[in-house]
Amino acid sequence: MSIAFTFPGQGSQAVGMGKDLADAYPEARAVFDEVDEALAQRLSRLIWEGPEDELTLTANAQPALMAVSLAAIRVLEARGLVLKDRIAYVAGHSLGEYSALAAAGTFSIADTARLLRIRGNAMQAAVPVGEGAMAAIIGLEQADVEAACAEAGKGSVCQIANDNGGGQLVISGAKPAVEIAARLCTEKGAKRALMLPVSAPFHSALMQPAAEAMREALAGVQKNAPSVPVVANVTVSPLTDPEDIAARLVEQVTGRVRWRETVEWFAANGVTTLYEIGSGKVLSGLARRIDRGIATVNVGGPADIEAFGSE
């Protein structure tokens, strides 16, 4: 029996997230202050007061979600948690992989905030607004979705960006190709093919300029071996070498988030409980659809902190 900590990705943000942690615990407040200073921005005010459309911007949502997750981690640590003594692995969904690495000590909180700001800006700038798109495909076999992407993406870009499990795949690429692929998926029997309200085609080959920006940014920060292995999005394997981790983070910008396989890997390697650290319950919901044998626990507010401490 072992535990893994998981960290949410974009889409889990909500105005007001983390405010109860900051009000209840000085260690949490210190994390938000550190992120504000690192970014030279009152991001904490935006997180707690909005407006929502500004918080949702990629360059804000990414460091904001990390701040909430790390605020929870610092409170747990102040109450006696030693990560390597209690936790077997960490993992995060897309940007959540950076939160996982900050929790495991690979990056400082300040460096993680700056990396995520660079990542958000670079991903937004990689493709002009309106030229890329993403769509969620529900209830269709992966092979059929792959075939639809291959047919629609001839001479263009269309690929699976996220394998979220529970019959949910997300495709990404050039807008015309994604629209064609979504229609083809419907014709192949998908229960739903829903265009997503996103500002860029994340985790597709069109993000290559952002991958190069992250290669440069990651080369310039201090990287430590994580205190526990991180299960990487693109390889679904536990990593401990800092340079290997950085290389996989670069690949992640254009590569597939293999979350279904990650949860399956946890189950196959003795993990019995997944703790989702931070805002929302998206990953817990996905995990339950992937493998009902794994227990899920959310740690996002003071009541969750107290419950964790009593275990």
In the residue annotation, 203 being an active-site residue is answered as yes
Distance CA 278, CA 75 (A): 12
- Residue 198 in tokens: 């996103």
Rounded-to-10 torsion of CA 301, 11, 41, 248:
100
The residue annotated as part of the active site, out of 44, 93, 172, 203, is 203
Answer for the pair 95, 119: CB distance below 8 angstroms, yes or no: yes
Distance CA 239, CA 149 (A): 30
Cα 88 from chain centroid (whole Å): 19
CA angle 208, 251, 229 (to 5 degrees): 155
In the residue annotation, 12 being an active-site residue is answered as no
DSSP state of 293: T
The residue annotated as part of the active site, out of 12, 94, 99, 284, is 94
Q: Contacts from 240-246 at CB under 8 Å and sequence distance 24+?
A: 242/106, 245/101, 245/106, 246/218, 246/219
Alpha helices of the chain — where are they, by DSSP H? 19-24, 26-39, 43-49, 52-56, 58-78, 83-86, 96-103, 109-125, 142-152, 175-187, 208-219, 242-254, 259-268, 282-290, 302-309
- Residue 63 in tokens: 């460091």
Distance CA 215, CA 158 (A): 23
- Name the residues annotated as catalytic: 94, 203
